[in-house]
Amino acid sequence: MLNAANRDPEFFSDPQQFDIRRQPNRHIAFGMGIHFCVGALLARTEAQILFRTLLERMPQIQLVDEKADWDLRKPNSRMLHSLNLAF
């Protein structure tokens, strides 16, 4: 499972911790090898634009509580359903 692989403690120290500066970070969120995601560059570019714009427009944004509501219906992925923020 991709999700489990990206949290393998043999490869990632403190694997449950979100660490945007993690180095090394050999995750496989976009797969690997011959079927590596062809949209990875687009997805990364969109994410950079999204977070830059969000922080410019809502500089006070912060977590209200850290409990996220995950949609776990798909066995091979997990999607964020809701997260309480204030801005």
| Position closest to ligand HEM via CB | 39
Does 37 bind ligand HEM (CB under 6 A)? Our answer is: yes
55 is a contact residue toward ligand HEM (CB under 6 A):
no
As measured in angstroms, the least distance from the Cβ of 43 to ligand HEM is 4
Q: Which of 21, 35, 73, 74 binds ligand HEM (CB under 6 A)?
A: 35
How many residues sit close enough to ligand HEM to count as binding (CB under 6 A)? Answer: 10
Under 8 Å between Cβ of 87 and 62: yes
Residues near ligand HEM (CB under 6 A): 2, 29-31, 35, 37-39, 42-43
